[in-house]
Chain A
Amino acid sequence: MTHPPKSSAAPPGSGVPTMPSVPTQAKPPAPAPQAPPPAPVPDPAPARRTAFAEGLDQVRAAATTEPGRLRIIGAALALLVVLFGAVTAWQTDDRAAAADDVLNKSQPLSNAAADIYRYLADANTAASSGFLAGGQETAASRERYEEDIDKAASGLVQAASNSDPDSPAAATVTKLNRLLPEYKGLVERARTYNRQGFPVGGAYLRYANEKMQEEMLPAAEDLYTSENQRLRADYGDATPYPWAAIGLGVLALAALAWAQHRNYRRTNRVLNHGLVAATATTTVVLLWLVVGHTVARAGLNDSYDHGVRSLNVLHDARIASLKARGNENLTLVARGAETVTKKNAKGEDVTYDAYDYDFNTDMDALGKGLAAASKLADDDTGGKPVTAAEGNMKVWKERHTAARAQDENGNYEAALERVIGAEGATGECFDSVDKNLDRALRHEETEFEQAAGDGLDAMTGLSVGAAVLAVLGAAGAVLGIGRRLSEYR
């Protein structure tokens, strides 16, 4: 392996043990270190200089001899490789932590927030449907209400334990935690009075509805929005390329290559074991870093494009369908009490029933959401429920029109039957839309978890591996240079 030195690049002062015993040489002659070195004379500097300046002088002095140069090179190489390892470990650790947050924290939280909204809105719809039925609420609607409230409450507990204290999300959760029992109390009173046959029960329900619509649902929407922002921020932290680490890796490799080339020029030896080992580990770390991160990034981007985007669209569609159902019920509860005046296409003022107008707006949002979701759905399992939901929505609209016609004609009971009745009512369509959206959501969730999990897996061990390999690489560089240095003893 070690070739005999050739004439041209003979090591300077070969055979002469010139290992300088003192790093500082006061005035070294230019070409080669002298033997014996002059006794080190303490530099009688006229004024005391900074440690840095003195160190610089020492380095400069060392650079004049080959062993000194070798030492500097060895130290620089080791430092560069260690630095590369450290930056790699730090940057990948950051990204892995963010990716882990995406998978295990912010996405589940964003989901939980959407669920809180859904359960609250659904509970309110169940309560108002019970009231609409005129008589006493059915066991089914009561059960649905109770279940929704329980789920909303446990969702709030989860959101509370996962939000940082003093964050706006925590304040929103606190507010919702305060309002939920208030709301429930109002509904309970409504129930009691309803049982006694007093219309003040209806007044309590209106009050509860007002609290839900004007305070609780907006707060839940805020929570959803802020959790979504957090999710996006975590994606932003997890996906950018670790340029600092990559740059340092390239730099370390270049330095190692230069050092080996220099070595070859001076000694005609092709390979230096230590330096080769250092180069190999650095290359491994750099490749691992680039490939691992690219795979992780692809996984995460995939989880965003095929998971989170679909999930967002589906959540929005589900919220729109819930709002539409709530407004459809309120149209019958309010019985024309509230109207809005809007300009039609010709610019004329037209008066609409306020709740029916909102219903139509919500249905438009639902239609748009479903269309977007079916565009985003990339496989059959994801697309089927969305298509089915679109079908349900069409039937819902038809039945709603029929129910409205009955109400407009003054056949209130017939309209009621078509909205909350047992068979052929719009309630069936709403339930089907909800069920299908739930199916689609669960599918997209699995897709998200798979893709994001793959991404996270690609980063496994990268930071620890990079640190260990970098230390090995640095050791190799030091040993390699040390071997060369030993030739000067």
Chain B
Amino acid sequence: MRGRLRTSLRGWGGVGAMAVVCALAVAFVLLLPLTQSHGDGSTGTGGPGVTHAVQAADDDPCTDPAIKAAPEKQTLSPSGADGATIEKIKARQGEKRKLIVGVDQNSYRWGYRNPNGGANADLEGFDIDLVHRIAQDILGDPNAVQFKAIPTNQRIPAIQQGRVDMIVRTMTINCSRLADVAFSAPYFKTGQQVLAPKSSDITGYNDTLARKRICTAEGSTANTKLEDDKKAGELVSSAKISPPVPNQLDCLVRLQLGEVDAVVTDGALAASQAAQDPTVELKGTPFTTEYYGVAMKQDADDLVRRVNRILVDYRQDTTDGWQASYDRWLSATLDKDSAKSEPPTPQYLRKS
């Protein structure tokens, strides 16, 4: 019986293979325009008349070496003038007259709900201070803000779908994100760093990561960097990149439960994690240099210029500005001295 079945199937092998090849070809042809249109999405959101340097470089900002080297310079010069975007925000009525901002509620001292913060349990942290400052400037009330908690991998979709006006959430400015959103000038300097238990033999981003399980957040710079480095052979090939988690803080949970051996995230955030657990520490020095920026919709030129102007003021303000916020939130977990975290004087190379 089995023999007969086998002989009856034998003739179908070639036909089956051909059918599979045909199906694959059709699927490929059907999917090709999809992948392309995804890349073109940025052009669409750019709107008519918006032709920045980004688009000149074959739609992918990363192909331009100048942009790739210094993506944080691709922003518009500061201006206090109201445009279409700001007017729309100001036109919100009554209770809705609020700036809608995507933040994190899990980053210790950046944006989080302090469980001991009293009955209101307001969000607080370095990012949150900046949000209040922006709201104060645009709407005249620091508390005219609707906070939305946005997971790491939802930051770009949230802006593109208009669910938020801006994202202030330890978001690194990089060239590939420039294809999807517009960034303000940098407001913080950091770099990727390795976090591991003090007792671990990991010494930094090097061969000691061999056979270690590494945790990253989904859609984070760290995740992209690790995947790229592994492909390029710059990360030891036996290092295992664990399935990414929704939030960098979830990595600390996995680390404590022994499900991973190390965490790679921004140094600023890694320091926040270390501050919550005295048995872990930062290993080695930052192996990248990155800047945090406020992300906005790509055609929100007036808002980008406005935020850049607010940032200039914020950094000059010595009593209640950038430095005061740093001292309040970050000096305990990062360096006492803020020099390492201060971004350079911004350049505004984006022309339109």
Contact = CB atoms under 8 A, between A and B. Distances in A.
Given A197-B114, A203-B249, A410-B98, A337 B277 contact: no
B48 interface: no
Given A134-B120, A200-B253, A413-B120, A195 B115 contact: yes
B7 interface: no
A460 interface: no
A196 B276 CA distance: 9
A241 interface: no
A322 B154 CA distance: 28
A202 interface: yes
Contacts of A416: 121
Nearest to A335: B149
A337 B150 contact: yes
B116 A336 contact: no
Interface residues of A, number: 32
A200 B163 contact: no
B258 to A, nearest CB: 13
A134 B112 CA distance: 11
A193 B213 CA distance: 24
Contact of B119 (A134, A199, A206, A339): A134
Interface string B113-126: 11111111110000
A174 interface: no
Contacts of A207: 250, 253
Nearest to A189: B256
Contacts of B121: 133-135, 413, 416
A199 B276 contact: yes
A194 B116 CA distance: 8
A410 B247 CA distance: 23
B105 A200 contact: no
B106 A203 contact: yes
Given A134-B119, A199-B107, A412 B147 contact: yes
A409 B98 contact: yes
Interface in A335-353: 335-339, 351
Nearest to B99: A410
A204 to B, nearest CB: 6
Given A199-B106, A200-B249, A410-B147, A134 B95 contact: no
B145 interface: yes
A351 B120 contact: no
Interface string A372-415: 00000000000000000000000000000000000001111100
B94 to A, nearest CB: 8
Contacts of B150: 336-337
A243 interface: no
B253 A335 contact: no
A335 B252 contact: no
Contact of A134 (B115, B252, B256): B115
Given A199-B276, A335-B105, A336-B150, 11 more contacts: A196-B276, A197-B114, A199-B108, A199-B249, A202-B113, A203-B247, A203-B249, A409-B94, A410-B146, A410-B147, A413-B121
Interface of B: 94-96, 98, 100, 105-108, 112-122, 145-151, 154, 161, 163, 247, 249-250, 252-253, 256, 273, 276-277
Interface of A: 133-136, 189, 193-204, 206-207, 334-339, 351, 409-413, 416
